[in-house]
Structure 1
Amino acid sequence: MKKYLLLFCFIFLSINYVVSFQKPNNNCKYLTDLRKKAKELYFKGEQSASRKVCIISLSFIESIEDNSECIVKLHSKILGRLFYIEKNALNYSKALFFLDLNKKLQKKFPFYFPSYNYSIKLQEASILSRLDEKEKSNTILFKMLENKEKFKHIALGEIFIYNHTIDNYFNLFSEENKTWILDSIINHSKKAYDIFYEKRNELKQDKYKDAISTFYTRLGRVEKHKENYEKATVFLKLAKENNTDKESIFIDLHLSSCYFYLNKPDSTIHYAKSFLQKNKDLKASGRLLYAYNILSKQYYKLQEKDSAYKYAKLTLSEVNKNHFYKNKGIKKMFNNNIDKIKLNNQNILKSQKKSFISILLLLIIIIIFSTFLFSYKYYKSVQKEKKYLKLVKELRDKSNKKKQKAIKIKDESIERIIESLNYFEKSEEYLNSNFTLYNVAKRINTNTTYLSKIINQKKNTNFKEYVNKLRMEYVITEIAEGEKFQKYSIEAIAKEVGFSNASTFSKAFKKYTGISPSYYIKKVVSDKESK
């Protein structure tokens, strides 16, 4: 299903491209327009779109069977464009296929190509360089420079030879890292620029600006290789100022690299992403790997792990593609550091996984702790509820009990003291803050020691606990049966029942009942409202 969908899309796009050029009566004019469109798309970085236009052009040439000079020459140029498209995509077998077709075409019509072998030789030198045959490539180019007089009638023919030679020198420097190579690059770049300068009046403004941009780009790259990154950025920015978005589409990548080593993360990320945005169609290239690798390293330095992880995965995806291991030139372009790049980005992925595991463990600990805390609070809540219900039950039982029989005590003195205490209980004098052991003993004409001893024996507690118990039972009853205490603050209740402050009262209440007074009041009110 996917294959049929892709085929349909290709046919639809092909028809669109053909329809976009209204076919004139003149085949040459129609084919010229197609070639211009392919060239325009190529220099915009839209390689796939350019390839489609070229294939449409070849289909058109085959259909018309026209061997006129215009058609044959355009045919050769279109084959040349397809050669460079496939070479840039690292499809070297396809590139060689189109090169071979072009050779056969020029041999078949030699009278149309007085400078036979010029474009063919350039393409041969270019592909040999990519196939790591730089010595053979340079031999072809140097011979062409020796015989440059033959190509004088070709517009800017000598410059194209210089351009290929300079590219070879850059690739050679990646392998050998020798200063003389950079000097040769500068020397050849100046010669190429001088030719442009001499012919500036004959050229279109855009063409001359592109020449300036290319010259500054090369100077910037040389300074970058010398590790003069500040100076490199100056040249590269001059290149951007003169760039017409046709020739120098990789300036942003060089700028990103310089800013990475200058430790300027914002600029590094900006230019790397700008390069990727402008080169969306760059499906297979060492430059794509370079951009992803810079971004993964920069984000990792910034501790932005999600972004570092994203670009590390993209970097490894590029590294793992077969063409990187098959192509020695690309490995040398990275100074044979492909394996190191792979290892560094694998480490970034591992650190992200470790971070994920740490977060996961932390979440598990939080969940366990939260569950424990919830369970503990629930348990405490249940215990409070049980104590409250027990208190309510005791209160009901107390109200239903008959009055206890009077204690039979033979000793008149003990009986008198007990009767006095019973009186104090009935009269609720224990609610007075002055209801102390000393004052009570004084009122019933006894001493504190004797009074304390009787309370211990008869009440099974000490005086303080005895008084607190009376006060607590009073408060519990008042809250349960009346509305006054339900509306009081804890401070007011404390004062009402003889405590000096709310804190002492709350502690005594909780000790006696197991729950706080505020909780008890809340539950009593809630129960009444529910009824």
Structure 2
Amino acid sequence: MKLKKSFIFIFFFGIIPFSTKSQTKKIDDFNIEKIELFKGSNNDSLLFYSRRLQKSSDKCLSIRGEINEVYSIYLTSNYHLSEKKAKDILEELNDQKPICFRILKIQILNRLFWIKKNQNDYAEAFNYLLEAEEVLKTLKELKEYYFTNRINIKMQIALIKMILGYNLEARTILKKSLSDYKLFFKNNEKEQVHYSKILNHTSFNNLIGETYLNSRENNNTTMLDSASFYFNKAYQFAKEFTPPHKNSETLYQLKEAEVLIKKEKFYEAISLTNKYSKNAKEYNTTQKINYLKAVSFYKLNRKDSAFLFSNNYLKGFIKSNYYQTYVHSIYDILTNLYFEDNKIDSAFKYSKLTLKELNYINKRKNKVNQPHYLYDFKKATELNQAILKSENKNQNSFVLTILILGILLIILMLFFINKAKKSSLRIIEMNKQLDKKESTPKKEYNIDKKLEDEILQSLKELETSKDFLKTDFSINMLAKKLNTNKTYISYIVNKAKNQSFTQYLTEVRINYLINQLKEDKNFRNYTIKALAQEIGYTNASAFTRVFKIYKGVTPSEYIKSLENDTN
């Protein structure tokens, strides 16, 4: 009887912990499901279930709840509070080694990147990005997770490049990363992967659209049409979210309004912003709408409306100190409005604020330039080492193969020694005969002095024209223009310049570019590819090699030396 009671006691009290544990897991799973459901669709519900998940007995899930609370606060543009909470979480995760905590650390570092980026603190944002990349390197065994996050980091690096003005470079990274992403997940239809696909396709296409919108050639209709194309593509992907993100259409249409402003279609831009202003508070788009309307009305010379929406923007900015993105543009609009009304004191006030804000932005950009450059240099070095390692491996295999073949060859040589001697003698004799043939004197041309002078004069004119900058410019083109043949031109260039026509053309192009870099500082902001295209090269790598041969340094190093001399 005693044994029976003991058994009942053990069974009853043993099953309770199991039942409680099972119930707790159900609650945790329910809260996680709700968090994923309300991301992007209902921020209040997202915050509610994030706080519920924080009560989990599983430490990893509890911190996951905290991270989602940070995200919820971030969505309200309260960057100060979200940063404070994020840093507290990061401090808690710093000494944690399990995989779960390392994944969470990447999430919180990612959130800090976006917070600092939106605060225009690009150097700090970039540092968080690099820290996340280092943590990610420890998770290579999680193939899908590692690949997805590596792609996300590339996306963020492209964003930093966009901020620094390298839109073409950023676009190249984004398109290549998107292509790699599609290929990697081509046949993977898992539910969580499907959500990730939609999210990444939306983000990538929006950012590619931004590179076209912010391009130096943004007044070019083709560039702006490309921006619209990618914004629309992002919106089409965003429609696939389940449940739908309620703000997707509004965010897309406001991007379209930006394109319309760049196309100088201001009435259409105002009409579009009016249509999507109803839910501005809920979707946190009030400040962007104020900015878009302020710009449009100012461009239409409707001063009262421009004043109204500029001041609305500043009220929102002063009240919360959030959404700093366009504040310098608003200051600039107010400067011009007051100046046009001959209110010099107010114009001067806002002019000073404009300059202060622009200096602040430039300071932030300059601050991130060095780590950005060092990052690119490090990546190039890593790639170079990987190539060398591969080359050394191949070289070792090659050496081993040569050794084996060498041994076999020695055996064969010992066997056929007499025949080898005779063969060598015949080869030596043949080489002597070839040497005699190749020693034929260089051909001289008896060219009319007048023609020679005409060709030399044309070369001088060529150097002052810009014909040599054309991609298809060649000796054949010049010969056709002078109604002569390329052999004569080649001979005269060689005689007068002591170099081949190709060498001469290259020297003229490089000298032109060096002169432009010295006299026009805008050229120093061009990408290497753009500089190459300026002087007729289609391949940036070939251009860099040629430039280094003539100047002893790469184009980037030369531009840097010019900047240092200026400073």
Q: TM-score, normalised by structure 2?
A: 0.49
Task: Describe the shift of the 1:147–1:98 C-alpha distance in structure 2 as closer, same or farther (beyond 3 A).
Answer: same
Per-residue CA deviation, residues 478-501 of structure 1 (Å, 9 max, x unaligned), is xxxxxxxxxxxxxxxxxxxxxxxx
Q: CA deviation at 1:215?
A: 1.4
- Is there any run of 5+ residues in structure 2 with no aligned partner, and where? 1-50, 186-192, 370-521, 523-567
Q: Residues 328 and 61 of structure 1: is their aligned pair in 2 closer, same or farther, counting only changes over 3 Å?
A: closer
Write the distance in 2 (CA, Å) between the matches of 1:101 and 1:324: 22
Q: Which amino acid aligns with 1:260?
A: Y
Say whether the 8 Å CA contact 1:214–1:248 is kept in structure 2.
no
Q: Cα gap change, 1:245/1:284 in structure 2, threshold over 3 Å: closer, same or farther?
A: closer
SS in 2 for 1:106: helix
Contact 1:128 1:134 in 2 (8 A): yes
- Three-state SS of the structure 2 residue aligned to 1:188 is helix
Q: Deviations over 1:132-164 (max 9, x none)?
A: 322221111111332343355314221111011
* Other-structure match for 2:290: 252
Partners in 2 of 1:298 and 1:241 — Cα distance?
28
CA RMSD of aligned residues (A): 3.2
Q: 1:357-394, CA deviations, whole angstroms, 9 ceiling, x for partnerless residues? A: xxxxxxxxxxxxxxxxxxxxxxxxxxxxxxxxxxxxxx
Give the conservation status (yes or no) of the 8 Å contact 1:210–1:248. Answer: no
Tell me, yes or no, if the aligned pair for 2:164 and 2:365 is still in contact at 8 Å.
Answer: no
Q: How many residues align?
A: 305
C-alpha distance in 2, partners of 1:236/1:327?
34
Rounded to whole Å, the distance in 2 between the matches of 1:53 and 1:21 is 16
Answer whether contact 2:93 2:105 (CA < 8 A) is retained: yes
Contact in 1 for aligned 2:310/2:330 (Cα 8 Å)? yes
State the shift of 1:210 in Å: 1.6
The residue number in structure 2 matching 1:433 is none
Q: Does 1:67 align with 2:111?
A: no
- Distance change in 2, residues 1:302/1:123 (3 Å): same
Paired residues of 2:71 and 2:111 also in contact (CA < 8 A)? yes
In structure 2, the partner of 1:31 is 63
**Mapped contact 2:202–2:237 kept (Cα < 8 A):** yes
Q: What amino acid does structure 1 have at the position aligned with 2:105? A: H
1:141 is matched by which residue type in structure 2? L
Structure 1 length as normaliser, TM-score? 0.52
Work out whether residues 47 and 282 of structure 1, in 8 Å CA contact, stay in contact via their aligned partners in 2: no
Identity of aligned residues (%): 25
**Structure 1: stretches of 5+ with no match in the other structure:** 1-18, 331-335, 337-531
Deviation at 1:24, TM superposition (A): 5.2
Rounded to whole Å, the distance in 2 between the matches of 1:159 and 1:301 is 42
Residue 275 (structure 2) pairs with residue 238 (structure 1): yes
Which residue of structure 2 aligns with residue 117 of structure 1? 150
Among 205, 209, 228, which residue is 1:166 paired with? Answer: 209
1:275 aligns with 2:313: yes
- Aligned equivalent of 1:507: none
Distance (Å, rounded) in 1 between the aligned partners of 2:171 and 2:102: 29
C-alpha contact 1:148 1:158 (8 A) present in aligned 2: no
Structure 1 position 203 matched with structure 2 position 243: yes
* Alignment match, 2:87: 55
Larger Rg: 1
How do 1:331-346 residues align onto structure 2 when only pairs under 5 Å count?
Answer: none
Distance 1:319 1:92, change over 3 A: closer
**Partner deviation per Cα, 1:63-94 (whole Å, 9 max, x = no partner):** 6x25243x333221211111122233333322
- Take 2:339 and 2:368, find their aligned partners in 1: how far apart are those partners? 28
Aligned to 2:228: 186
- Given residue 193 of structure 1, which amino acid in structure 2 is its aligned partner? Y
- 1:76 partner letter: I
Verify the 8 A CA contact 2:254 2:272 in the aligned structure 1.
Answer: yes
Matches within 5 A, 1:306-345: 307-321=346-360, 323=362
SS class of match (1:117): helix
Residues 213, 248 of structure 1: 8 Å contact kept: no
Q: Return the offset for 1:259.
A: 1.0
Structure 1: how far apart are the matches of 2:367 and 2:83? 26
Partner of 2:247: helix, strand, or coil?
Answer: helix
Is 2:185 the counterpart of 1:146?
no
